[in-house]
């Protein structure tokens, strides 16, 4: 199975096997100083445009303040698409949300103080029953909210197509969110051929600790994080990483400098940490929003203990809406995906390297030196890619 890496510059690195999109499509945004990237919003608008009239679309998100996307939702409904939106109450007063409520009526529901959790509905996913291209049961899972600020954040989306089971799992979850019955012991885990989904709120496990539990330590183990929020409520994950680092594992982390608080803890544990810097925009770019990190990704390339003295090499990708925070695990409505696919892993690794490069350049040389990454950088970064033919 071949994933595709979609650059914010509208250029695509994709499998040349046929004209259809890959069943799993990772998408990444690359904002720069003074230049936004709306690739995640454009993806959703495109899916809405291609939704077949008479079929269902379900969207839930934490913040929704983007009028262009509101108009796309309304246009889909006007074409006969059975569209339903479930929005957290933190943006209930936004013009875009008010427009949706005025035009779509009871197709828009607002969750107050969470739905299943008791804090926030922090989810960011879209479900499309059928597209005019013939594809069905599409799941778009993202780290991105729908605000102007998010256009200046490094975010991640993953689109799944034709996975009926995954679609049904998300639809069941959406219905339970809409029902609004609080259950802080929700603790749900579902698995398909495409992904394993961990839903919050959880009282049973720390999802990230669970992912690291059976990692076999050694010099050929590499673990990477890219997180907007990682705070001291989740120091247990730092402690586990310290144990692995002591046994020669390599741990590399990108954090949002202004949002995360565990940088010193991680450095003390021996991890290589880049805190993506807040920058001054006094360079005349005319933009008041600097780029930064909003993804919530973990990549593991390691041997795993599978019992009876045996190990198995695995490359795992984790992404979704869950921050490495206490509320993200136990109080919020969240989704956290595990994907095991070598080509998807490679695209995530390429993204991690590009964001790390950009953050390092900002730290070392300032805003004036920063330009959008070139596609050849992506090709150079995908060092673990298979020999399958790729094209720009």
State whether 215 and 319 are in the same domain.
yes
Q: What is the pLDDT of residue 370?
A: 52
Contact of 26 with 277, CB cutoff 8 Å: no
The total number of residues shown for the chain amounts to 392
Within 10 angstroms of residue 287's Cβ, the number of other Cβ atoms is 16
Q: What is the pLDDT of residue 13?
A: 34
State whether 181 and 205 are in the same domain.
no
Please identify, among 129, 156, 185, the residue that sits at the C-terminal boundary of a domain.
185
Q: State how far the Cα of 385 lies from the Cα of 229, in Å rounded to an integer.
A: 29
Kindly state whether residue 292 falls inside one of the protein's structural domains.
yes
Please identify, among 185, 217, 235, the residue that sits at the C-terminal boundary of a domain.
185
State whether 207 and 341 are in the same domain.
yes
State whether 277 and 215 are in the same domain.
yes
State whether 127 and 210 are in the same domain.
no
Kindly state whether residue 300 falls inside one of the protein's structural domains.
yes
Among residues 312, 295, 308, 219, the alpha carbon closest in space to that of 254 is found at 295
Which residues contact residue 307 at a Cβ distance below 8 angstroms, ignoring those fewer than 6 apart? none
The 3-class secondary structure across the chain, one letter per residue, is CCCCEECCCCCEEEECCCCCCCCEEEEECCCECCECCCHHHHHHHHHHHHECCCCEEEEEECCECCHHHHHHHHHHHHCCCEEEEEEEHHHCCCHHHHHHHHHHHHHEEEECCCCCCCCCECCEEEEEEEECCCCEEEEEEECCCECCHHHHEECEEEEECCCHHHHHHHHHHHHHHHHCCCCCCCCCEEECCCCEEEEECCCCCCHHHHHHCCEECCCCCEEEEEECCECHHHHHHHHHHHHHHHCCCEEEEEEECCCCCCHHHHHHHCCEEEEECCCCCCCCCCCCCCCEECCEEEEEEEEEEEECCEEEEEEEEEEECCCECHHHHHCCEEEEEEEECHHHHHHHHHHHHHHHHHHHHHHHHCHHHCCCCCHHHHHHHCCCCCCCCEEC
State whether 228 and 350 are in the same domain.
yes
Domain count within the chain: 2
Kindly state whether residue 87 falls inside one of the protein's structural domains.
yes
Domain residues for the domain of 244 are 200-391
State whether 261 and 137 are in the same domain.
no
Please identify, among 162, 185, 208, the residue that sits at the C-terminal boundary of a domain.
185
Count Cα atoms within 13 angstroms, Cβ side, for 148: 9
CATH number at residue 67: 3.30.870.10
Torsion angle, CA of 350/263/300/354, rounded to 10 degrees?
A: 0
Kindly state whether residue 281 falls inside one of the protein's structural domains.
yes
Q: State how far the Cα of 227 lies from the Cα of 197, in Å rounded to an integer.
A: 19
Contact of 240 with 211, CB cutoff 8 Å: no
Contact of 28 with 156, CB cutoff 8 Å: yes
Kindly state whether residue 190 falls inside one of the protein's structural domains.
no
Please state, in angstroms and as integers, the Cα–Cα distance from residue 15 to each residue in 18, 248, 329, 376, following that order: 8, 35, 35, 16
pLDDT in tens, the chain (392 residues): 333 344 443 333 333 334 444 589 999 999 988 789 999 999 999 999 999 999 999 999 999 999 999 999 999 999 999 999 999 999 899 999 999 999 999 999 999 999 999 999 999 999 999 999 999 999 999 999 999 999 999 999 999 999 999 999 999 999 999 999 999 999 999 999 999 999 999 999 999 999 999 999 999 999 999 999 999 999 999 999 999 999 999 999 999 999 999 999 999 999 999 999 988 655 454 557 889 999 999 999 999 999 999 999 999 999 999 999 999 999 999 999 999 999 999 999 999 999 999 999 998 875 555 555 544 444 444 555 443 322 22
Q: What pTM was estimated for this model as a whole?
A: 0.90
Contact of 348 with 6, CB cutoff 8 Å: no
Kindly state whether residue 194 falls inside one of the protein's structural domains.
no
Kindly state whether residue 269 falls inside one of the protein's structural domains.
yes
Q: State how far the Cα of 12 lies from the Cα of 61, in Å rounded to an integer.
A: 26
């Amino acid at each position: 199975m071949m994933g595709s890496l979609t650059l914010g510059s509208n250029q695509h690195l994709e499998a040349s096997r046929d004209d259809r999109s890959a069943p799993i499509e990772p998408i990444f945004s690359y904002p720069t100083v003074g230049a936004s990237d709306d690739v995640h919003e454009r993806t959703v608008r495109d899916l809405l445009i291609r939704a077949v009239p008479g079929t269902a679309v379900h969207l839930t998100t934490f913040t929704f303040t983007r009028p262009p996307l509101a108009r796309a939702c309304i246009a889909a409904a006007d074409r006969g698409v059975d569209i339903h939106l479930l929005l957290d109450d933190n943006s209930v007063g936004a013009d875009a949300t008010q427009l949706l409520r005025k035009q779509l009526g009871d197709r828009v529901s607002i969750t107050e103080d969470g739905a299943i959790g008791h804090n926030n509905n922090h989810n960011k996913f879209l479900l499309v029953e059928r597209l005019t291209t013939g594809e069905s049961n599409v799941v778009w899972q993202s780290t991105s909210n729908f605000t102007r600020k998010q256009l200046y954040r490094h975010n991640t989306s993953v689109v799944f197509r034709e996975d009926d089971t995954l679609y049904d799992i998300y639809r069941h979850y959406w219905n339970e969110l809409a029902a609004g019955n609080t259950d802080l012991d929700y603790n749900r885990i579902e698995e398909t051929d495409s992904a394993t989904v961990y839903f919050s709120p959880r009282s049973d496990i720390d999802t990230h600790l669970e992912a690291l539990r059976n990692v076999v330590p050694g010099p050929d183990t590499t673990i990477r994080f890219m997180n907007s929020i990682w705070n001291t409520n989740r120091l247990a994950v730092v402690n586990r990483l310290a144990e692995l680092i002591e046994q020669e594992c390599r741990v590399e982390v990108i954090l949002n400098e202004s949002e995360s608080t565990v940088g010193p803890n991680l450095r003390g544990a021996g991890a290589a940490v880049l805190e993506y810097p807040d920058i001054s925009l006094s360079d005349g770019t005319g933009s008041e929003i600097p780029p930064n990190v909003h993804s919530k990704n973990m990549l593991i390339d390691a041997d795993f203990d599978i019992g009876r003295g045996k190990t198995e090499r695995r490359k795992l990708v984790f992404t979704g809406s869950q921050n490495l925070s206490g509320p993200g695990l136990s109080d919020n409505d969240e989704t956290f995906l595990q994907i095991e696919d070598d080509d998807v892993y490679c695209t995530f690794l390429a993204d991690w390297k590009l964001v790390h490069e950009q953050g390092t350049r900002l730290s070392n040389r300032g805003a004036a030196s920063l330009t959008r990454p070139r596609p050849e950088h992506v090709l150079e970064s995908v060092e673990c890619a298979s020999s399958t033919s790729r094209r720009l």
